[in-house]
Structure 1
C-alpha cells in the first residue's frame, strides 16, 4: 500500500476518518491510525478537533472529541485558552444533543469535558453545576453565574438529563484513576467535594422515579461510580451527600428494568463498604427480603434458576449476610434469624455446585466466615451461656446436612459431560466444605463425628454409594480434629469394625471406584487411630494391599499403606515377613511404580522399628534382593542393544500403564526405565529407614562418637548399596533422573544418628562423590554441600577437616574445567556454595588449598560470578564474599592469611561491587550485592579508599552521576556502618546511575 499523505484540508481529514471505519487490511488501518495520530498531536490539532466536531457523521464527531482529549492531555494551555476550549466543548455538546447525535458522541464529549476538568479544574471548580446550567439554558453562559443544580435539573429533557449524568459518571471514574497521594491532584479532589451536593441534587430525582427509565439506570451507574471514588478518597462530607441516594437505589430493585443496575451497586457496596449503610438502610433491606417480590426471587433460585439476575439476587443476600454477621449471631433477633434461615436454604438449591448451582460456593464462603465468627464468640463467652438448641447454633445441623448432600458426586455420565473448569470447581467446593466442617467441629465436637459415622454406615447398609462416598469424605475431613485424642475412638470403631472393609474388597463390580478411593483414603487419614487400635490393622492393610493391583486405586491405596505402616511401625514389627511376602507377590503382577516406591518405603519403616540390629539387617537384605533383580536386569538390557517388542512382559515392568509404548523400544531405554525404578525403590527404602522425627535422642551421648556399621553384615549391605549406585551411575550416566535419585539416596542417610544401611562412613561417601561423573556434576557438588553440613552438625564433627581436604580440590578442579561461570551456571553456583561451606567450616584447610593457583582461581571465579548476569550464581557469589570478608579464625596463621587475602582482593571486590551498583546489576539483585558491601565497610579500614578508586575508574558504567554524587554515596555508605539503611542508599544510587527511565526496571 502506498504511503498515506498528511491531509491538507478538513474534508480530507473527514475522508480519512471514514476510511478508518471501512473494511480495510490491518496494515491499511495501521497506516491511517498513524497519520491521524500525527495530525492530532500537531499544532493544527485544535482546529481539526473543532472542525470535526461541527460535522454531521457520528464517527467524525467522535474523532473530533477524541482529538480534544489528546490535545488536553499532551499540550498545556494558559487560562484564557483553556477557557476558550471549554466553551467550544460545551457548544459542541449542545449542538450534538440538538442534532440528535448518537450516545457514542455524547459520551466522548462528556469524557473530553472531564479531561478538561482534570487538567484545569481551577477554571470551573463547580463543573457539574456549570454543565447542568448550560444544558438547561441551551448555551454556554458565564461560569460564575451558574446556579446550584437543584432548581435547574427539573426542566432538563431526558436526553440532556442523561448527558449530565454521563458527565458526572465520567467525572468520578477519571478522578478515581488519579494518584491520590500526588500533590498535583490535591486541589482536584478538593473541588470534587465541592461538586458533591450538586451531584446529590442531580441524581436524587432520577433515583426517586421522577425521570424516565434510561435516566434512572444511568443515575444508578453514576451513583456506583461515585461510591467507588468515595472509597478511594474517603471524606465525610462526600459520604453525607451520597447517603440520601442509597434508599432510592434500594427501592429500584423491585423494578425489573432497574434491577440489574441496582443489585450490582448494592452488592458491591455491601461487600466493600459496609459502614456506608446506616441502621435504617439495613432495616429497609430486611423489609425488602421479607417482601413477596424477594420470596419469589428466592424460590426461583432454590428451584434451579441460575440465570444472571437470579444469581445476582443470591449474591445480594450473601453480601447482606456478610455485612450483618454480628446481628445474625443474635438468636433473640427474630428478623435476623429469618434471614439466616434463608441463607441456610441457599445451600440446598437444585443442581450440582459450580457446574449447575452458581450460588452454592458464595453461600458456603459466607457460612465459613459465620461459623468462624461463632467460634470466636463462643470462646469469648462463658460456656454456660451457649444454647445449643436455639438459633443460630441450631442451624448448624441443617448447614452440615445440606453440604453433605450437595457434595455427592453425580452419575458418571453427568460428571463426564462437565468441562474441566466445572470439574475443578466442584472439587474445590468439596474442599471448601471440608474446611467448613473443621470449623463446625470446634463448636459441635463429637456429635459431628457421630453424624458422619452413622451416615457412612447408612450408606453401607443401603448400598447408597454416592452417599457413602460423601459421608466418608466428610468423616475424613475431620481426622485432624481428633488425631491426638481418643475421645472419638469408640465412635470410629463402629466404622472400622463394620462390614465396610469386607464390602470394599469385593471390587468395583460392587462398589464404584470413586467410593472405594475415598474409603481407602479414610484409612490413611485415621492412621493415628489404627496405631491405637491394632486389632483393626490386619483388615485395613489386607484391604489396601488387595487394592494396589487395581490401577485406579493404586495411588490412594499405596499412599494409605505408607502412612499406616509409618504411623504404626512399632506394632507391625512381628509381621515384617508377611509384608515382605506380600511385596514379592505384588511384584509378580503389574505394579505401578509410584505405588511400589510407597510400599517399599512402608515396609522399610517397619524394618526400622525392629528392636534387634541383626533382624533389621536380615529383613532389609531380603527387601533389597528385589531391587538387585531389577538392577541386574537393567544392566543386561543396557548391554543387549536391540529393540524389544512392546508386548514383552519386561516392558510392563519398565513403564506404567499410561506411559506404556505401543511400538518396539530399544533395550537400553527399557534398561534405563528399570534402573530408575530400582533406584526410586532404593530411595523409598532409604527414607523409610529414617528414624521418626519424634524418636528419642540420647543427649548424653558423646557428640563426636562415630556412627559405624554395627556388624560385618551391615557393612556388607552398605558396600552392596554403594556398588549398585556406582554401577548405575556409570552405566546410565546420561540420565538426569537416575543421577538425581542417586544423590537423593546418599542424602537420605546424612541426617541419621544411628547405624543403618544408608548411614555410610564419611570416607565412602567422599570417594563416591569424587568419582567420575559424566553428567549432572552439579547434583554431586550439591550433595557434597549437604554432606559437609550434616557432618558439621552431627556425630562426625572431627572428620569435617579431612573430608573438606578431599572434596575441595575436586570442586576446584571442576570449576577450573568450567572456565566461565556462564558455561554451566548451576555447577558454578553449587561449586561456590561448597567453597563457602569449606571456608566457614574449615578455614585453615580452605586457605591451604594446593596448588595455591587453585585458591587464586577460586577467588577470581567468585569475582567473575559476581560480575555475571545469572541471578542465582551471582547471589551465591555475594554470599561467598560476605562470609569471606567476616571470616575469623582462632589460629593466628590462618587469620593472617585471611587478612592478607583481603588486602589483595579488597580493591578487586570493591571494583566489582561498584560495577554492579553503578548500573550493571538488576534491581532484584541489589539487596544481595549490598551484603558484602556492608561487611566490607565495617571490617576493613581501607574500604573507603577502595570504593573511591572503583567509582572514579574509567570503566565505571554510568555517565549520569557526577563526582559529587559518587563522593556523597561513599560518605553515606561509610557513615551507615553496615546498617540496613545502606540497602536504600545503594538502590537510590543505582537508580541515579541507570537514569529516570529505569525507575521500574528489573
Structure 2
C-alpha cells in the first residue's frame, strides 16, 4: 500500500522536509488513512476469507501509530482519530491468520507508546488476556512450546504487564489482576533451562525487576510500607525469587556440554540478572529472604541435593553485599558456617559437582567480614579452602577466597603463620601462576599484621625462598626449552613478588599517630632487613637479565618496584630511590614495553613530590637526563606517540618540586630540546601526547615565587616560549583538535592568560597570524573571542595553581 510505504519512508529518516512541515502535510491525510484502514478492518469476514487486505491494513495501522508517537514527541500532536481503530484491531488477536501481525502491533504499542491506548482499550486487552483463548496459549508456552507464535504471545503478555505494572501491584484483590499475576509467575516456570531451552524466562525476569523497582520507588515516595497493597506485592516478589532460584540450577555436565556458546553465555547472563534482582529486592524482603536461603542451603546439604545447594549458595553470594553486621543476620549465617557444610563439601569422593564446590569456595570470600567478626568459624573454612586449592578446577576461586579471608582476618591468624607456610609448601607441587600469587599475598598480609618488625623477617625470608627456587628452576630450563617456555614461570615469580609486596602494605584504615615520638624504624634499611631488600632486587635483576627481551617480563618487574611506592612507613618493598632509579636507568630506546618503565619513573617521582616526602634530587636528575636521551632519539613525537606521551608526562611530574633540577640540566641544548619537544607534542594528531603536553604546560606556566635566580630563569623561558605556546594552543582550539580535547587544551591557556602579563599580545598574534587553521573565522569573530576569553579569565576565581 502506498500509505504504508510512505510512512515507512519517513520513519527510516529519509524524509527531506523538516518535522513540522512533514507533520502539517500528514495531518491533512489522517482522516483518509483512518477511513481506508477502517474499511479494510470491517471487510474481513473471518476464517476462510482472504486476509491479505486486512494484514496490509494492520501493518499500515502500525506505521501510523508509530508516526503518531513521533508527532507527539516532536510537536505534542495527538492523532485521536487513529484510536478509533484500536478496538477493531484487538478482535483480530483471536484469528490465526491475523494473529502474528496483530500481536506484534500491540506488543510494540505496549512497549513503546502505551499512552496511545485509552482506558477502555487497556480493559479490553486485559479481558482478552483473561480469556480461554489466552489461557490456552499460555499453557502451550508453559509446557515448553517455544514456537514463534508462542513466544510472540509471551512477549505480548509481558509487554502488557510492564505497561500496567502499577495497577498489577496496587490492585492485588482484583480477579483480573490475580489472573495476570499468576501468568507472570507462570512465565518463570516454563519447562526447560533458562535461555538455552526456555526462551521467555529472561524477559519474564525483566518484568519482575520492573515490579521491584516500582515497589522501591513507591516506598520512598510514600514514606513507608503501610499501604495495604505492599504485603501482597512483597509476597509476589518472594514467590518470583523462588521461581528464579529453580531456574538458575546448573544442568548436568552432559546437557551443558551440548549447548553452544550463545546458550552458555545466555544462561550465565540470566544467573547474573537473578543476582541483580535479589540485590534490588533485599530492601523489600530483608532478613526474611536471607533466612529462607540459609534454611534451604541446610536442607539441601542434608539431602545432598547438590544442584539445589549450588543455586542456593549462588543466591547467598549475591546477597553478601546487602546483609549488614546485624546480630540476627550473623546468627542465621552462623547456623550455616557452623554446620557440616565444609566437611561434606571436602569429601572428593562424594560425587559433588565441581560447580557446587566452586560456588561454596566463592562464598567464603564473599563473607570475609563475617569471619572477621566470628573467628571461631575460620579454622574449618580455611581448612576447606586449602583442600580445595589442591584441585585444579577449584584452585583459582579457592586462592581468591584464601586471600580475602586472610586479608580481612590477618590479626587473628598471626599465630597460624607457620601452618600457612607449611600448607603452601605442600601446595607447590600442583600450584599454578595466579593461584600462587593469591596464596602468597594472603600469607604476606598475615605477616604484615605481626606488630614487631624484626619478627617479620624470617617468614618474609621463607616466602623469598619459594620464589628463588622457582626462579632457579626457570633460569635452568632456559637453555633447554627457550624463551617461550621459561617466560611464564618467570613472570609468575615476579607477580608473586608483587603480590607479597601488596600483602605487606600497611592497611589504609590504620590509625596515624601524629603525636608519636617513636623514632622511624631503620630495620629495613640495614642488617637483616636491608639484606631482604637486596634479595628481592636480585631476584628481579636475575629474571630481567635472563629474559629482559620480553615486554611482559619488563612489566612484571616494574610492578615489583611500584608495590612500595604508596607506603609511608619503611618495609621490605620500600626500596631506596637510588635502587629503583638504577633499575630504570637500565632501559634503552629499544627496551620492550619502554612506556611501562617510563610510567614507573613517573610514579617514583610522584611518590616523592610532596613537601613531606624525601627529596630525590639526584635520582630525578639522572632520570631526567635518561629521558632526554629518549626525546632526542624520537625527534618527532608522531613517530613514537606512546613513548612521547610518557616522556612528557615524566617532565610534568617534575613540576613544581624539581623544576630546579630541570632548569639546571646540562648541556643547555638538551634543556632547549625537551621544551621544544613538549611544544611539538601539542601539535601532533595523537591525543595522548597532546594531553600530557597540556598537563606539562599547565604546571609550568604558573610557576612563581621561587628564589632568585631560579624565578628569573622561569620567566625568561616563558618570555621566549610564550608566543610559541600560545600559537600551538590557538591552533588546536581554532580547529586543529577534536572537540573532546578542548577542555584539556583550555586549561594551560587559562593559566597562561592569568599568570603572564603579555598573554593578550601573544593571543592577538596567534589569532591574526598566518598559521591560524581556519579560514571560516573572520576578524570580528576573533576579536569577540579574545575579549570573552580575557574577560572570563580575569573574572574567574584565582585558583589556577
What range describes the TM-score normalised by the shorter chain of this pair? over 0.9
Q: 1:449 to 1:837 in 2, by over 3 A?
A: same
Q: What stretches of structure 2 of length at least 5 have no aligned partner? A: 795-801
Superposed CA offset, 1:165-188 (max 9, x none):
x222123223334489x9845322
Partner of 1:230: 68
Superposed CA offset, 1:212-247 (max 9, x none):
522221111111111222222215654312211212
The number of residues matched between the two structures is: 786
Partner of 2:790: 977
- Tell me which of 655, 658, 669 is aligned to 1:853: 669
- Tell me which of 820, 830, 837 is aligned to 2:646: 830
Q: Name the SS of the counterpart of 1:552 in structure 2.
A: coil
Q: 1:400 to 1:729 in 2, by over 3 A?
A: same
Partner of 1:169: 4
Matched, 1:243 2:83: yes
Distance in 2 (CA, whole Å) between partners of 1:804 and 1:743 is 17
- Tell me which of 290, 296, 303 is aligned to 1:449: 290
Q: Name the SS of the counterpart of 2:347 in structure 1.
A: coil
Partner of 1:888: 704
Matched, 1:216 2:79: no
Distance in 1 (CA, whole Å) between partners of 2:610 and 2:94 is 72
Q: Answer whether contact 1:483 1:529 (CA < 8 A) is retained.
A: no
Partner of 1:349: 190
Q: What stretches of structure 1 of length at least 5 have no aligned partner? A: 1-165, 644-664, 982-1002
Q: Answer whether contact 2:395 2:435 (CA < 8 A) is retained.
A: yes
Q: Answer whether contact 1:476 1:525 (CA < 8 A) is retained.
A: yes
Matched, 1:515 2:380: no
Partner of 1:576: 417
Write out aligned runs for 1:843-922 (5 A). 843-917=659-733, 919-922=735-738
Worse-superposed segment, 592-601 or 532-541:
532-541
* Structure of higher RCO (CA pairs closer than 8 Å, 6+ residues apart): 2
CA drift at 1:938: 4.1
Q: Answer whether contact 2:764 2:786 (CA < 8 A) is retained.
A: no
Distance in 1 (CA, whole Å) between partners of 2:791 and 2:556 is 42
Write out aligned runs for 1:98-497 (5 A). 166-178=1-13, 184-210=18-44, 212-234=50-72, 238-330=78-170, 331-381=172-222, 383=224, 385=226, 391-497=232-338
Q: Answer whether contact 1:753 1:795 (CA < 8 A) is retained.
A: no
| TM-align CA RMSD | 2.8
Q: Answer whether contact 1:944 1:974 (CA < 8 A) is retained.
A: no
Write out aligned runs for 1:701-850 (5 A). 709=524, 712-773=527-588, 774-793=591-610, 795-796=612-613, 798-850=614-666
Q: 1:978 to 1:616 in 2, by over 3 A?
A: farther
Partner of 2:503: 688
Q: 1:940 to 1:208 in 2, by over 3 A?
A: farther
Q: 1:778 to 1:390 in 2, by over 3 A?
A: closer
Worse-superposed segment, 401-410 or 336-345:
336-345
CA drift at 1:802: 4.8
Superposed CA offset, 1:414-453 (max 9, x none):
1111110010000000111111112222122122122212
CA drift at 1:707: 7.9
Matched, 1:560 2:401: yes
Q: Answer whether contact 1:627 1:681 (CA < 8 A) is retained.
A: yes
Superposed CA offset, 1:84-104 (max 9, x none):
xxxxxxxxxxxxxxxxxxxxx
Q: Name the SS of the counterpart of 2:682 in structure 1.
A: helix
Partner of 2:798: none
Q: 1:185 to 1:671 in 2, by over 3 A?
A: closer
Distance in 2 (CA, whole Å) between partners of 1:825 and 1:222 is 56
Distance in 2 (CA, whole Å) between partners of 1:680 and 1:297 is 59
Q: Answer whether contact 1:867 1:916 (CA < 8 A) is retained.
A: yes
Distance in 1 (CA, whole Å) between partners of 2:523 and 2:701 is 38
Q: Answer whether contact 1:944 1:970 (CA < 8 A) is retained.
A: no
Q: Answer whether contact 1:364 1:433 (CA < 8 A) is retained.
A: yes
Q: Answer whether contact 1:456 1:468 (CA < 8 A) is retained.
A: yes
CA drift at 1:758: 0.7
Q: Name the SS of the counterpart of 1:481 in structure 2.
A: coil
Question: TM-score, normalised to structure 2's length?
Answer: 0.92
Partner of 1:529: 370
Q: Answer whether contact 2:362 2:398 (CA < 8 A) is retained.
A: yes
Distance in 2 (CA, whole Å) between partners of 1:217 and 1:707 is 87
CA drift at 1:941: 4.3
CA drift at 1:700: 4.2
Q: Answer whether contact 1:348 1:406 (CA < 8 A) is retained.
A: yes
Q: Answer whether contact 2:453 2:523 (CA < 8 A) is retained.
A: no
Distance in 2 (CA, whole Å) between partners of 1:388 and 1:203 is 42
Q: Name the SS of the counterpart of 1:220 in structure 2.
A: helix
Q: Name the SS of the counterpart of 1:839 in structure 2.
A: coil
Distance in 2 (CA, whole Å) between partners of 1:749 and 1:871 is 31
Distance in 2 (CA, whole Å) between partners of 1:836 and 1:704 is 34
CA drift at 1:399: 1.1
Partner of 2:461: 621
Q: Answer whether contact 1:178 1:185 (CA < 8 A) is retained.
A: no
Q: Name the SS of the counterpart of 2:575 in structure 1.
A: coil
Q: Answer whether contact 1:910 1:950 (CA < 8 A) is retained.
A: yes
Distance in 2 (CA, whole Å) between partners of 1:775 and 1:397 is 56
CA drift at 1:515: 1.1
Q: Answer whether contact 1:337 1:392 (CA < 8 A) is retained.
A: no
Q: 1:384 to 1:808 in 2, by over 3 A?
A: closer
Distance in 2 (CA, whole Å) between partners of 1:464 and 1:894 is 77
Worse-superposed segment, 689-698 or 930-939:
930-939
Distance in 2 (CA, whole Å) between partners of 1:178 and 1:501 is 62
Q: Answer whether contact 1:520 1:544 (CA < 8 A) is retained.
A: yes
Q: Answer whether contact 2:320 2:367 (CA < 8 A) is retained.
A: yes
Distance in 1 (CA, whole Å) between partners of 2:625 and 2:151 is 70
Superposed CA offset, 1:508-529 (max 9, x none):
6521111111111111111111
Q: Answer whether contact 2:238 2:289 (CA < 8 A) is retained.
A: no
Distance in 2 (CA, whole Å) between partners of 1:706 and 1:923 is 52
Q: 1:911 to 1:626 in 2, by over 3 A?
A: same
Q: 1:977 to 1:714 in 2, by over 3 A?
A: same
CA drift at 1:914: 4.5
Distance in 1 (CA, whole Å) between partners of 2:114 and 2:511 is 54
Partner of 1:125: none
Distance in 2 (CA, whole Å) between partners of 1:192 and 1:168 is 10
Write out aligned runs for 1:649-660 (5 A). none
Q: Name the SS of the counterpart of 2:187 in structure 1.
A: helix
Worse-superposed segment, 840-849 or 191-200:
840-849
Worse-superposed segment, 519-528 or 289-298:
519-528
Question: TM-score, normalised to structure 1's length?
Answer: 0.74
